[in-house]
Structure 1
Amino acid sequence: MTITQLKYVLAVAEYKNFTLAAEKCFVTQPTLSMQIQKIEEELGIQIFDRTKKPIQLTEIGQQIVNQSKNIVNEADRIQDIVDQQKGFIGGEFRLGIIPTIMPTLLPMFLNNFIKKYPKVKLIIEELNTDEIILKLNNGHLDAAIAATPLQEEKIKEVVLYFEPFVAYIPEGHRNFQKQEIEVDDLNIDEILLLQDGHCFRDGILNLCKNVAANEKAHFQIESGSFETLIKLADEGLGTTLLPYLHTLDLKEKDQLKLRHFKEPKPAREVSLIFPKNELKIHIIDALRSTIAGVVKGAIVFQNVQIISPLQKK
């Protein structure tokens, strides 16, 4: 059997469809099917149960897929070793970034990185945390930037910085006159939230889990962007919480409505995450170093309380 054949097996296991797997592998469907059949004949077993729709792995097929992932990853490591020995930092690198980090962090480091490492072809995707974890585990991302800790067994986390939560409080609100606020000052029912699926939303809910709810609330609004939440707050519809880096770009009149929390400041931990097999570690290190160089001047908070990004059951 060959590495290429094993890659075909992994593709069918992931997409549960021979035609789609062939498209993703850039081969014809008959070619892919023939190569998988050769492995099955060589081993004398069936990897896939083709009678089911969608196609399912057999019991032995699942074990073969698990081992195939290890073999393909270790084969890819050979090129990694060669590149490191040569001091070569280049090639394709697939990076995922969650939506609440992408707009602020990416402009800070991207230009520096591509100038310093022109041979690296960065392919960047904006993905939510669940999508990132899936793609990392399936080998479709080399690394990602997300809020942590995630408690994923196969994923390594390297902390980049701690980013405090900052309250956006419009004039006329009872907390507007306060210089600093505490978690107990919050009312969860008047906090305008991002839509479900954003880990920053889950962080806010975790932060406010012990804050009493107001049963008299007449509405609940969720949005896909901080800009919308800010505008809704200005209309008197509530308050919102923002990540610190996002507040740096606000207009001066809007910055007057920001209120920081007393120490220890509630914050999210932002990390560079990647599979523990550490493929392309030389590019990962270059990325970490570049980001650390640009955020150290903007993020200087140390006395913080890390708020989990994981949704509480």
Structure 2
Amino acid sequence: MTLTELKYIVMLAKEQHFGRAADACHVSQPTLSVAVKKLEEELGAAIFERSKSAVYITPLGQQIVDQAERVMEQANVIKELASSGQNQLKGPIKVGAIYTIAPYLFPHMIPFLHQHTQGMPLIIEENLTENLRPKLRNGELDAIIVALPFREPDVVTQPIYEEEFVVLMPKGHNWTKLTHIETSQLSTDNLLILGKGHCFSDQVTEACPILNEDEYDTARTIVNGSSLETIRYMVSSGLGVTVLPKSAATNINSDLLEIRPFAHPAPKRTVALAWRASFPRPQAIDALSQSIRDAYQHFPV
């Protein structure tokens, strides 16, 4: 049994397709297939059930894959321990962030991080919270930037900053006559929000309880995408209004769009940094945390 074989079964369980799993592991499909079969023979257990069109993980296979992920995580810890004895800021740090944070935070954060660490290599990724979570656990990412609430065993979560929400509307909209928007008003216009899987949409509906399920068809347009920028363009076309985190409401075209704050108390979110408790480079985490704080203080207002 090797770490490479464990990596193959973890990826195959994720992709449920030999071709895609092989591509993700940068090997040929026969190489991956032979390695998986060899591991199953060594263990004397069927990890996967195969058909002509799909691959399914068996109940016992799921337990094996779960343990394989833990083994890979600990193997990464060994590698990190070895490198941390030299210089904790020398090796690359892999950071993920949710879609509604990454494009607005990273451009400001990265220069500060390079300044604090004398150019520590950085690998970044945008994704949904539900996809960042397992990547953090298995070592594909070293830290992730998410919105609270976020709970995960053996993971440290540190709140960094709070960010208020604002309302974005087309130029000439009736609400532009107002100085502040009440949350109750959001049910009176077509509200454009991201689809399921985006915690930001959940936070909007939680902050505005009048947007209940009965109004899902009449008061909202659901945009099943990852980009708030798409929604911004839709608002500028006059298709409705939207709610944005304040950092996403910068550099707008004032000829087409206007922004209004919410009336007190304004809905808001808490942005946090999360990392494995076993991650052996605390200096890198400290530098990342400080860089996020520095970036937030320099957000355009």
When normalised by structure 2's length, the TM-score is 0.77
Partners of 2:285 and 2:134 in 1: CA distance: 19
Give the structure 2 partner of residue 187 of structure 1: 186
Report the number of matched residues: 294
Give the structure 1 partner of residue 62 of structure 2: 62
Contact 1:187 1:213 survives alignment (8 Å): no
Offset at residue 150 of structure 1 (A):
3.5
Offset at residue 78 of structure 1 (A):
1.2
Give the structure 2 partner of residue 308 of structure 1: none
Give the structure 2 partner of residue 304 of structure 1: none
Partners of 2:212 and 2:39 in 1: CA distance: 60
Offset at residue 23 of structure 1 (A):
3.1
Give the structure 2 partner of residue 227 of structure 1: 232
CA, structure 1 residues 191+117, in 2 after alignment: closer, same or farther (shift >3 Å)? farther
- List gaps (5 residues or longer) in structure 2: none
Partners of 2:19 and 2:272 in 1: CA distance: 37
Contact 2:97 2:145 survives alignment (8 Å): yes
Contact 1:191 1:241 survives alignment (8 Å): no
Give the structure 2 partner of residue 196 of structure 1: 195
The one-letter amino acid of 1:14's match is K
1:106-125 pair list within 5 angstroms: 106-117=106-117, 120-125=120-125
The one-letter amino acid of 2:32's match is L
Partners of 2:53 and 2:281 in 1: CA distance: 36
Give the structure 2 partner of residue 305 of structure 1: none
Greater CA deviation, 194-203 or 173-182?
A: 173-182
Q: Give 3-state SS (helix, strand or coil) of 2:251's partner.
A: coil
Offset at residue 178 of structure 1 (A):
4.3
Contact 1:160 1:292 survives alignment (8 Å): yes
Offset at residue 73 of structure 1 (A):
0.9
Partners of 2:176 and 2:19 in 1: CA distance: 59
Percentage of identical aligned residues:
33
1:295 aligned onto 2:296:
yes
Partners of 1:169 and 1:212 in 2: CA distance: 21
Give the structure 2 partner of residue 273 of structure 1: 274
> In structure 2, which of residues 246, 249, 252 is the aligned counterpart of residue 247 of structure 1?
249
Partners of 1:40 and 1:183 in 2: CA distance: 56
What is the RMSD of the two structures over their aligned residues, measured on CA atoms? 3.7
When normalised by structure 1's length, the TM-score is 0.75
Offset at residue 266 of structure 1 (A):
1.3
Partners of 2:251 and 2:206 in 1: CA distance: 26
Deviation sequence 1:161-216 (CA, Å, 0-9, x none): 111012345676665454444433x232415313314433332222222368998x
CA, structure 1 residues 279+28, in 2 after alignment: closer, same or farther (shift >3 Å)? farther
1:148-187 pair list within 5 angstroms: 148-153=148-153, 156-168=156-168, 175-184=175-184, 186-187=185-186
Partners of 1:278 and 1:126 in 2: CA distance: 21
Contact 1:163 1:243 survives alignment (8 Å): yes
Offset at residue 158 of structure 1 (A):
2.1
Partners of 1:278 and 1:52 in 2: CA distance: 41
Give the structure 2 partner of residue 307 of structure 1: none
Contact 2:81 2:280 survives alignment (8 Å): no
